[in-house]
Amino acid sequence: MRVGAHVSSAGGPHNVFERAAAIGAEAIQLFISAPQQWRAPSLGAETVAAFRAAHARAPLPVFFHAVYLVNLGTPDGALLERSADSLTRYVRHAGELGVEGTIFHVGSHKGAGFEAVREQVCAAVLAVLEAAANESMLLIENNAGQGNGIGAAFGEIGEIIRGCGGHPRLGVCLDTCHAFAMGYDIATRAGCEAAMAEFDREIGLERLRAVHANDSKMALGGVRDRHENIGDGHIGLDGFRAILAHPAFREQPLLLEVPGIEGGGPDAENVERLKRLRAEVGAPAPDAGGGG
């Protein structure tokens, strides 16, 4: 189990490794373009070489997060095309940089209902994976259920994966805040067991490849995406003890997306809180050789 964080890539993606080391992060998530804009990332040969050299010196698991504008459930053909193109670019760059996967939000069905857009979503996902044929993963992130979001319920994510023929490069990133806000009571041992049993039935635990470790400003079932620092929200320290103690999470990278103690995003204090909890529950930590 690695405790990692979303890290700024300002000045070039190679800079994330030094910034991760500064807060003690053992895994990394980053944007390679502005998350609220469609502007395509530009990664030339020098950028790729610099990133790979820095990654070789610090061989941590690295994930991209796609831009927030992506919506594979939209009725707007132009937006659907733009969304698939953006995802394709990210997955291609993931292959070039040796990044493990691209985490993305499927989007919203805009009130049409999941079944009405399921085939469209699956076709778009398969098109992205075919157009960006490398070894990196495409990871569906569960959402908090607001705004007619697709994939708030584990069953919808499972249907997408099955609709894509169980593609081997398709996986899941579980966001703890989103799951809790959706009504999955992962903050208790019994609730976490029930939630992950449902995950296994609907998706398969082998598809879980990363975790967004975020506390929640919203109470259980609040259906709002509001992240809080570890231990300061409604999941709380006991809730994260329950999560980290569950076998499904023992080998997963935990990626913090919290506001930070000083409001500057994931920081050393939040990383240290998760590391202390990891030690308390006896979960494995990465060894000096990079394992774990």
What pLDDT was estimated at residue 211?
98
Which pLDDT tens digit goes with each residue over 164-191?
A: 999 999 999 999 999 999 999 999 999 9
CA 136 from chain center: how many Å? 14
Contacts with 241 (C-beta within 8 Å, 6 or more apart), sequence order: 277, 280, 281
* Cβ atoms of residues 65 and 34 within 8 Å: no
> What DSSP element (H or E) covers 91?
helix 77-97
Which pLDDT tens digit goes with each residue over 94-114?
A: 999 999 999 999 999 998 899
The pair of three-digit structure tokens given for residue 254, joined into one six-digit string: 């935990």
C-alpha 122/C-alpha 128 separation (Å) is: 10
What pLDDT was estimated at residue 13?
95
- What is each CA distance from 157 to 148, 164, 219, 227, 254, in whole angstroms? 14, 11, 23, 22, 20
Q: DSSP character for 15?
A: G
Decide if pLDDT at 290 tops 70.
no
**Fold observed for domain 2-281:** TIM Barrel (3.20.20)
What pLDDT was estimated at residue 217?
97
Confidence band of 287 (pLDDT split at 50, 70, 90): confident
What pLDDT was estimated at residue 288?
45
Which pLDDT tens digit goes with each residue over 65-81?
A: 999 999 999 999 999 99
For residue 117, which amino acid is it?
V
Which pLDDT tens digit goes with each residue over 17-57?
A: 999 999 999 999 999 988 889 887 888 999 999 999 999 99
Q: What is the mean pLDDT of the chain?
A: 95
- What is each CA distance from 151 to 88, 99, 143, 267, in whole angstroms? 20, 24, 6, 29
Confidence band of 205 (pLDDT split at 50, 70, 90): very high
